[in-house]
């Protein structure tokens, strides 16, 4: 089997992709103008009509769409097809802000599943594989998206959903799952549990497709070592379709964006100005093939860099780096910008075995001053009553955090297994200032 699901697209020349994008964008703008009064009004306010959009070069003339627009239009205001033609609703997991509902026609589902199939094949998946899908099923897009992609590749699909970790591991060993799809934090938890159960030798996994939340390179190596697999990143968001907006290949140096369906731009989050390739900014997507819920220039809040460097896998689709935090995930603590991913990098860089990657950040405000605590779990092997050794490690972490973040944190080592494990997206931050 080829390593590409749709080689004619995945390895097309940039000119071919561009021609496809030009044609599809023009059609899409007309589609929303004709069918979504909210869009028409936004375009009229900017003084433009579909005639002004002749190619991707004109994209910058279009207004942005933000989460606030989705909120204003909840639930049906951005629908571009009659409900009778829609067959599915998915919704965000609701970790930040209000729920978003997205609609799909059968055609939309079909294209979404193609995107996920590309991701599975890029991770080495074939019809010989047993693909265990341990993302949540239901309103969350993770389970349904990868389930559909797995079918398209022809894998034997195990629709496990998340949770019930013992049963996950039992199926994994009994049936010999070869590909695991779940959030990276759940993969880490599964790896930890497999180790504890002494079942590492009975695991047949070769690849993991992990996404839906930020995870560091250190975390990747950790999961790869523990499960004996190659771990691939996958990115997506409900508003744009779900998982499979972009996916990693064997080079593991960023995720190829499915540019025949989504046009990516990087903008300055302050000014909205489009930035050149290679510059860091907010990722903006335009979906050019979605029928039911097409978003034009949707601001993701994810901070990212795009690259058109040649990829050794042969795919020509533009690559995005791992999102470097969300502009709305950023904590401002005593005036300093702190991304949870920076804290994770520090903890995972401490390799001497005393701590695990399980941590929680607690921010509060006492007497008008922000407090900043980081609780980190000790490993079973280090678990000790020796106050001096604990204080030593705490100091080591505090010092590294101070040098990376520029502010002090109160670091506490806590007993093994006291930080709640996540089966979906991990909850790493408790910001009591917002409660
Ligand atoms: O998380 C879709 C998904 C499911 C992606 C399964 C990958 C795998 P939402 O719940 O709408 O959709 O959340 C979207 O999650 O804007 C990013 O901030 C974050 N995110 C998604 N994938 C990644 C990733 C799904 N690979 C939001 N790395 C996005 C970092 C990610 N952040």
For the chain, the domain total comes to 2
224 Cα: distance to centroid of ligand 1 (angstroms): 20
Look at residue 213 and give its three-state secondary structure.
coil
Q: What is the pLDDT of residue 71?
A: 86
- Domain membership flag for residue 52: no
The answer to whether residues 9 and 24 touch, using CB atoms and an 8 Å cutoff, is no
Whether residues 128 and 223 fall in one domain: yes
Q: What angle do CA 27, 28, 29 make, to 5 degrees?
A: 95
Q: Are strands 179-182 and 86-91 parallel, antiparallel or unpaired?
A: unpaired
Q: 254 CB less than 6 Å from ligand 1? A: no
Look at residue 65 and give its three-state secondary structure.
strand
CA torsion 287→290→293→296, rounded to 10°? Answer: 20
Q: 24 CB less than 6 Å from ligand 1? A: no
The answer to whether residues 307 and 318 touch, using CB atoms and an 8 Å cutoff, is yes
Whether residues 77 and 162 fall in one domain: yes
Q: 235 CB less than 6 Å from ligand 1? A: yes
Q: 243 CB less than 6 Å from ligand 1? A: yes
Q: What is the pLDDT of residue 422?
A: 85
Q: 339 CB less than 6 Å from ligand 1? A: no
- Domain membership flag for residue 126: yes
Q: Which residue has the tokens 């929680």?
A: 360
**CB count in 10 Å sphere of residue 171:** 17
Residues 6+ apart with CB under 8 A from 376: 347, 355, 356, 358, 359, 397, 411, 412, 413, 414
- Domain membership flag for residue 44: no
380 Cα: distance to centroid of ligand 1 (angstroms): 31
Q: Which of 284, 306, 327 is the last residue of a domain?
A: 327
Whether residues 164 and 269 fall in one domain: yes
Nearest CA to ligand 1 atom 12: 237
Positions of the chain with pLDDT lower than 50, given as ranges: 95-96
- Domain membership flag for residue 359: yes
Nearest CA to ligand 1 atom 21: 212
- Domain membership flag for residue 160: yes
Instruction: For residue 61, report the phi and psi dihedrals to the nearest 5 degrees.
Output: -75, -20
Q: 326 CB less than 6 Å from ligand 1? A: yes
Whether residues 322 and 393 fall in one domain: no
Q: 294 CB less than 6 Å from ligand 1? A: no
The answer to whether residues 39 and 297 touch, using CB atoms and an 8 Å cutoff, is no
Look at residue 80 and give its three-state secondary structure.
coil
Nearest CA to ligand 1 atom 30: 214
Task: Provide the residue range defining the domain that includes 255.
Answer: 7-18+61-327
Cis peptide before 75 (omega within 30 of 0): yes
Q: 302 CB less than 6 Å from ligand 1? A: yes
Q: What is the pLDDT of residue 368?
A: 79
Whether residues 86 and 196 fall in one domain: yes
Give me the chain's average pLDDT, please: 93
Which CATH number covers residue 408?
Answer: 3.30.300.30
pLDDT tens digit string along 127-145? Answer: 999 999 999 999 999 999 9
Nearest atom in ligand 1 to the alpha carbon of residue 236 is 5
Q: 300 CB less than 6 Å from ligand 1? A: yes
Q: 233 CB less than 6 Å from ligand 1? A: yes
Mutate to test the pocket of ligand 1, among 94, 236, 304, 329 (most ligand atoms within 8 A of CB): 236
Rounded Cα distance, 67 and 72, in Å: 9
115 Cα: distance to centroid of ligand 1 (angstroms): 15
Whether residues 241 and 206 fall in one domain: yes
Mutate to test the pocket of ligand 1, among 211, 295, 428 (most ligand atoms within 8 A of CB): 211
Whether residues 282 and 241 fall in one domain: yes
- Domain membership flag for residue 46: no
Whether residues 371 and 386 fall in one domain: yes
Q: 245 CB less than 6 Å from ligand 1? A: no
Q: What is the pLDDT of residue 334?
A: 82
**Terminal Cα distance for the chain, rounded:** 52
Q: Which of 297, 327, 357 is the last residue of a domain?
A: 327
Whether residues 292 and 188 fall in one domain: yes
Q: Which residue has the tokens 């990276």?
A: 184
Whether residues 83 and 177 fall in one domain: yes
- Domain membership flag for residue 197: yes
Which CATH number covers residue 221?
Answer: 3.40.50.12780
pLDDT tens digit string along 219-240? Answer: 899 999 999 999 999 999 999 9
Whether residues 387 and 415 fall in one domain: yes
Q: Which of 258, 293, 327 is the last residue of a domain?
A: 327
Among 27, 84, 47, which Cα is nearest to 289's?
Answer: 27
The answer to whether residues 358 and 394 touch, using CB atoms and an 8 Å cutoff, is no
Whether residues 319 and 342 fall in one domain: no
Nearest atom in ligand 1 to the alpha carbon of residue 322 is 28
- Domain membership flag for residue 47: no
270 Cα: distance to centroid of ligand 1 (angstroms): 23
Q: 214 CB less than 6 Å from ligand 1? A: yes
Mutate to test the pocket of ligand 1, among 112, 212, 293, 320 (most ligand atoms within 8 A of CB): 212
Q: What is the pLDDT of residue 95?
A: 47
Sign, Cα dihedral of 208, 211, 213, 217: positive
């Amino acid at each position: 089997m080829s390593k590409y699901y749709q080689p004619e697209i995945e390895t097309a020349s940039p000119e071919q992709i561009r021609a496809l994008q030009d044609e599809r964008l023009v059609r899409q703008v007309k589609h929303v103008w004709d069918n979504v009064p909210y869009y028409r009004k936004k375009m009229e306010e900017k003084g433009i009509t579909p005639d002004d959009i002749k190619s991707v070069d004109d994209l910058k003339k279009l207004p942005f769409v933000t989460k606030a627009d989705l909120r204003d239009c909840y639930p049906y205001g951005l629908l571009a097809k009659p409900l009778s033609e829609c067959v599915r609703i998915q919704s965000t997991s609701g970790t930040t802000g209000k729920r978003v509902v997205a609609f799909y026609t059968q055609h939309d589902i079909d294209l979404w599943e193609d995107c996920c199939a590309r991701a599975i094949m890029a991770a080495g998946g074939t019809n010989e594989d047993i693909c265990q899908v341990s993302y949540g099923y239901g309103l969350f897009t993770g389970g349904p998206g990868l389930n559909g992609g797995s079918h398209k590749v022809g894998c034997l699909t195990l629709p496990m959903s998340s949770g019930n970790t013992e049963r996950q591991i039992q199926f994994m060993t009994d049936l010999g799952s070869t590909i695991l799809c779940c959030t990276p934090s759940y993969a880490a938890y599964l790896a930890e549990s497999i180790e504890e159960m002494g079942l590492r030798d009975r695991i047949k996994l070769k690849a993991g497709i992990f996404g839906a939340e930020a995870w560091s390179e250190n975390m990747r190596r950790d999961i790869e070592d523990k499960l004996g697999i190659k771990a691939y990143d996958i990115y997506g968001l409900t508003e744009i379709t779900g998982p499979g907006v972009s996916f990693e290949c064997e080079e593991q140096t960023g995720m190829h964006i499915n540019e025949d369906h989504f046009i990516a731009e990087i903008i300055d989050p302050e000014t909205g100005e489009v930035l050149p390739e290679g510059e860091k900014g907010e990722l903006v997507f335009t979906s050019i093939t979605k029928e039911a819920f097409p978003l034009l220039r949707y601001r993701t809040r994810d901070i990212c860099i795009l690259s058109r460097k040649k990829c050794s896998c042969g795919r020509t689709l533009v690559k995005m780096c791992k999102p470097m935090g969300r502009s709305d995930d950023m904590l401002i603590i005593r005036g300093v910008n702190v991304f949870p991913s920076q804290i994770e990098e520090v903890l995972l860089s401490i390799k001497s075995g005393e701590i695990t990657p399980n941590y929680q950040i607690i921010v509060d405000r006492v007497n008008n001053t922000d407090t900043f605590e980081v609780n980190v779990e000790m490993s079973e092997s280090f678990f000790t009553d020796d106050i001096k050794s604990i204080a030593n490690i705490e100091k080591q972490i505090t010092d590294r955090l101070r040098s990376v973040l520029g502010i002090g944190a109160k670091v506490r080592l806590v007993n093994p297994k006291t930080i709640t494990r996540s089966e979906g997206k991990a909850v790493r931050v408790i910001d009591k200032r917002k409660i």
